[in-house]
């Protein structure tokens, strides 16, 4: 009987039991693993299943985080995934990665691209500079562009920087890092080209146990091809294989589910690391610390004290160079459905049972599933238009040659979301995201309720809203956490003033904050999934936005135009007013 892998991509593969040369070899490998010290506890929890590359695989039957360990021999192999006890050292700790007998091979697929140059290679170098990579690692670039190893190194070297506060040995470190970088040109759907990559990887791995990490820094339409080829032809035969997948994960619920289904033809969920780089940002990571390790915040973290929450993303440049991608997605899919919604989930979730990845992701899924799908009436969309200022002219979105002149794709959106649970009933969560605005900033703003029976209300005049407390978490730039409070102006009279209790990171922690990609790459190497998106989280996120996105497209809703470099359209003010909210980012002093 042949097992056919489904037709998610251009080719399908079949495996026959006759190719399993000797079944007893499976069991001798199994026994070897036990002898090598793998715990019989997890061995007893595994059950057989078919694996695309190895033909036969053993997998745990419960939903705990797993880690892939594969072994092979005699022309056939077993892929084993084992359960690690919760809360203990992670399934593949960096200390294990540092094991001198094993090698880490990182392949950046789409190495010639913008993200690879701008973020991934610099992040890998930063990790190397900080001694966070295993001693024995190599980095391969893979893309269609013809390049030699030397050309790749030249390309990468242009974007590498050493930490501002630690410049010693920078040149040497760069040289050593670059010596470990190699390149292989190939087609994304060619199993043959990935088999060639496999040969090169093996050459460098020199017979040692190898763990392989693939970073898919490519457009989404070729994700499945690459996963198919990499998993069938270039996955590790002696260690784990993991794949980091960049967004977008589909365009809506259906395409996202289909993408997940296709990826799972070749990978177990535990091998898929869906990246949302906002989860790797310092202030976003700190959100849980702030909430759950300070007595003063958690008790007020509910509808009883919080009037509204605002999640604001603003960029001071347009879609320059990325119009082709952006026009298919728009700002709601590009920023809101993922980055802002992930922050919202972390902000609003209940206390997780532990800091274990699954416990946190369980809570995020719960809160996402308690939310109301967005309604058209609670959304405003905009698009930037050309604008001239001080004899400088700024292009309209539709001036981009890769964007259709009549495009209705929003480059700006504002939305009101609601969580129908006991903690957040009736509290508006307002989101605002836009490109080509007057400033670059990402913030979480929490506006608190009025002080009941405030003794000092006469001092605030008629606008009591101006006197409420506001907690601001500025994710970027100039990371900061500050609380707006009312304070007495020093002196003999009784004059009140709005002041900030301000934790400005640059003053308190005068060192460079690692880039989000550094943290996330490190986590993926360690097998830590806490900051990556699980497939049910993704489903829940798409369920909230898909009906709205369809309606916007079907009804051809025309976005409100706003000038490049402005504060955006006026629609969001009406939306906020409808929910009795005033945007917190209006004052320039903020």
Ligand X SMILES: NC(=O)C1=CN([C@@H]2O[C@H](COP(=O)(O)OP(=O)(O)OC[C@H]3O[C@@H](n4cnc5c(N)ncnc54)[C@H](OP(=O)(O)O)[C@@H]3O)[C@@H](O)[C@H]2O)C=CC1
Would you tell me which residues interact with ligand X (CB under 6 A)? 110, 112-116, 143-145, 188, 217-220, 222, 246-248, 325
Residue nearest to ligand LXAUTJHC (CB): 334
The item of ligand LXAUTJHC, ligand X, none sharing an interface with residue 246, based on CB under 5 to 8 Å by kind, is ligand X
- Angle CA 57–63–67, to nearest 5: 50
Helix or strand run (H / E) with residue 138? strand 137-143
Rank residues 83 and 109 by Cβ distance to ligand X and give the closer one.
109
Shortest CB 322 distance to ligand LXAUTJHC, Å: 7
d(CA 108, CA 243): 10
The item of ligand LXAUTJHC, ligand X, none sharing an interface with residue 143, based on CB under 5 to 8 Å by kind, is ligand X
Q: Which of helix, strand or coil describes residue 242?
A: strand
d(CA 95, CA 556): 54
Task: With CA atoms as reference, report the closest residue to 473 among 448, 503, 514.
Answer: 503
User: In the complex, which residues of this chain contact ligand LXAUTJHC (CB under 6 A)?
Assistant: 277, 315, 334
The item of ligand X, ligand LXAUTJHC, none sharing an interface with residue 222, based on CB under 5 to 8 Å by kind, is ligand X
Shortest CB 435 distance to ligand LXAUTJHC, Å: 7
Shortest CB 491 distance to ligand LXAUTJHC, Å: 43
User: What is the DSSP secondary structure assignment for residue 333, as one 8-state letter?
Assistant: I
Rank residues 255 and 499 by Cβ distance to ligand LXAUTJHC and give the closer one.
255
Task: With CA atoms as reference, report the closest residue to 533 among 544, 541, 522.
Answer: 541
Q: Which residues contact 528 (CB under 8 A, 6 or more apart)?
A: 90, 357
Rank residues 81 and 315 by Cβ distance to ligand LXAUTJHC and give the closer one.
315
Task: With CA atoms as reference, report the closest residue to 334 among 272, 401, 410.
Answer: 410
d(CA 90, CA 65): 10
Q: Which residues contact 348 (CB under 8 A, 6 or more apart)?
A: 309, 367, 419, 423, 424, 429
Rank residues 225 and 334 by Cβ distance to ligand LXAUTJHC and give the closer one.
334
Q: At what angle do helices 170-179 and 121-129 cross, to 10 degrees?
A: 120
Shortest CB 413 distance to ligand LXAUTJHC, Å: 13
Cα distances (Å, whole numbers) of residue 22 to 27, 76, 77, 351: 10, 8, 10, 50
The item of ligand LXAUTJHC, ligand X, none sharing an interface with residue 217, based on CB under 5 to 8 Å by kind, is ligand X
Shortest CB 377 distance to ligand X, Å: 30
Rank residues 341 and 419 by Cβ distance to ligand LXAUTJHC and give the closer one.
341
Task: With CA atoms as reference, report the closest residue to 572 among 416, 446, 421.
Answer: 416
- Catalytic residues, by residue number, are 339
Rank residues 83 and 516 by Cβ distance to ligand X and give the closer one.
516
CA 528 to chain centre: 13
Question: Phi/psi of residue 486, each to 5°?
Answer: -95, 135
User: Residue 412 in contact with residue 383, Cβ under 8 Å?
Assistant: yes
Residue nearest to ligand X (CB): 113
The item of ligand X, ligand LXAUTJHC, none sharing an interface with residue 276, based on CB under 5 to 8 Å by kind, is none
User: What is the DSSP secondary structure assignment for residue 566, as one 8-state letter?
Assistant: B
Tell me the sheet residues that pair with 279. none
d(CA 24, CA 238): 19
Shortest CB 518 distance to ligand LXAUTJHC, Å: 12
Rank residues 378 and 479 by Cβ distance to ligand LXAUTJHC and give the closer one.
479
Rank residues 403 and 581 by Cβ distance to ligand X and give the closer one.
403
The item of ligand X, ligand LXAUTJHC, none sharing an interface with residue 187, based on CB under 5 to 8 Å by kind, is none
- Angle CA 516–519–522, to nearest 5: 145
User: What is the DSSP secondary structure assignment for residue 9, as one 8-state letter?
Assistant: S
The item of ligand LXAUTJHC, ligand X, none sharing an interface with residue 288, based on CB under 5 to 8 Å by kind, is none
The item of ligand X, ligand LXAUTJHC, none sharing an interface with residue 334, based on CB under 5 to 8 Å by kind, is ligand LXAUTJHC
Q: Which of helix, strand or coil describes residue 300?
A: helix
The item of ligand LXAUTJHC, ligand X, none sharing an interface with residue 33, based on CB under 5 to 8 Å by kind, is none
Rank residues 250 and 527 by Cβ distance to ligand X and give the closer one.
250
Shortest CB 152 distance to ligand X, Å: 11
Percent composition of the chain: helix, strand, coil (DSSP 3-state, to 5): 35, 25, 40
Shortest CB 267 distance to ligand X, Å: 17
The item of ligand LXAUTJHC, ligand X, none sharing an interface with residue 444, based on CB under 5 to 8 Å by kind, is none
Shortest CB 448 distance to ligand X, Å: 33
d(CA 417, CA 404): 31
Cα distances (Å, whole numbers) of residue 103 to 166, 240, 253, 332: 27, 11, 38, 40
Own/partner contacts of 549-555, CB < 8 Å, gap of 24 or more, are 549/251, 549/252, 549/332, 549/333, 550/252, 551/376, 552/332, 552/376, 552/379, 552/381, 552/410, 555/376
Rank residues 21 and 144 by Cβ distance to ligand X and give the closer one.
144
Shortest CB 248 distance to ligand LXAUTJHC, Å: 8
């Amino acid at each position: 009987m042949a097992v056919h892998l489904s037709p998610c991509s251009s080719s399908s593969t079949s495996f026959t039991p006759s190719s399993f040369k000797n079944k007893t070899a499976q069991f001798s490998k199994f026994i070897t693993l036990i002898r090598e010290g793998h715990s019989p506890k997890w061995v007893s929890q595994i059950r057989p299943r078919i694996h695309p590359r190895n033909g036969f695989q053993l997998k745990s039957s419960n939903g705990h985080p797993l880690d892939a360990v594969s072994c092979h021999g005699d022309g056939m192999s077993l892929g084993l995934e084992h359960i690690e006890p919760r809360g203990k050292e992670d399934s593949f700790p960096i200390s294990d990665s540092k094991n001198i007998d094993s090698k880490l091979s990182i392949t950046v697929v789409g190495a010639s691209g913008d993200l690879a140059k701008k973020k991934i290679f610099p992040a890998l170098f930063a990790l190397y500079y900080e001694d966070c990579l295993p001693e024995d690692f190599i980095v391969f670039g893979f893309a269609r562009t013809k390049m030699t190893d030397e050309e790749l190194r030249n390309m990468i070297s242009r974007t590498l920087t050493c930490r501002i506060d630690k410049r010693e040995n920078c040149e040497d470190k760069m040289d050593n890092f670059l010596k470990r970088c190699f390149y292989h040109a190939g087609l994304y759907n060619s199993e043959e080209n990935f088999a060639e990559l496999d040969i090169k990887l093996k050459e460098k791995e020199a017979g040692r146990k190898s763990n392989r990490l693939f970073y898919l820094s490519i457009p989404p339409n070729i994700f499945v091809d690459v996963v198919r080829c990499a998993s069938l032809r270039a996955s590790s035969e002696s260690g784990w294989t993991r794949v980091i997948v960049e967004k977008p994960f589909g365009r809506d619920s259906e395409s996202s589910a289909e993408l997940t289904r296709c990826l799972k033809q070749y990978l177990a969920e535990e091998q898929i690391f869906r990246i949302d780089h906002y989860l790797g940002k310092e202030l976003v990571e700190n959100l849980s610390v702030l909430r759950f390790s300070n007595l003063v915040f958690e008790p007020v973290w509910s509808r009883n004290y919080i009037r509204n929450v605002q999640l604001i993303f603003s960029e001071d440049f347009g879609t320059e160079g990325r119009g082709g991608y952006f026009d298919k997605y728009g700002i709601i899919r590009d920023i809101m459905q993922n980055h802002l919604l992930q922050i919202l989930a972390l902000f609003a979730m209940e206390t997780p049972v532990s800091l274990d990845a699954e416990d946190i992701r369980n809570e995020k899924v719960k809160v996402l599933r308690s939310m109301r799908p967005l309604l058209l009436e609670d959304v405003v969309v905009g698009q930037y238009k050309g604008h001239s200022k001080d004899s400088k002219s700024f292009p309209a979105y539709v001036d981009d040659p890769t964007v259709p002149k009549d495009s209705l794709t929003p480059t700006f959106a504002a939305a009101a979301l609601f969580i129908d649970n006991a903690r957040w009933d009736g509290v508006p969560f307002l989101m605002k995201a836009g490109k080509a605005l007057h400033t670059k900033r990402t913030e979480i703003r929490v506006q608190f309720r009025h002080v009941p029976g405030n003794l000092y209300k006469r001092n605030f005049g008629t606008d009591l809203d101006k006197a409420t407390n506001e907690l601001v978490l500025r994710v970027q730039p100039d990371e900061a956490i500050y609380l707006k409070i009312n304070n007495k102006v020093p002196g003999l009279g009784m004059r009140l003033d709005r002041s900030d209790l301000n934790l400005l990171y640059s003053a308190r922690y005068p060192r460079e904050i690692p880039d989000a990609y550094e943290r996330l790459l490190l986590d993926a190497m360690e097998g830590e999934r806490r900051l990556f998106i699980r497939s049910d989280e993704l489903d829940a996120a798409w369920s909230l936005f898909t009906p709205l996105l369809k309606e916007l497209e079907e009804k051809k809703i025309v976005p409100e135009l706003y000038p490049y470099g402005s504060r955006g359209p006026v629609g969001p003010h009406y939306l906020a007013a409808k929910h009795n909210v005033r945007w917190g980012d209006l004052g320039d002093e903020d």
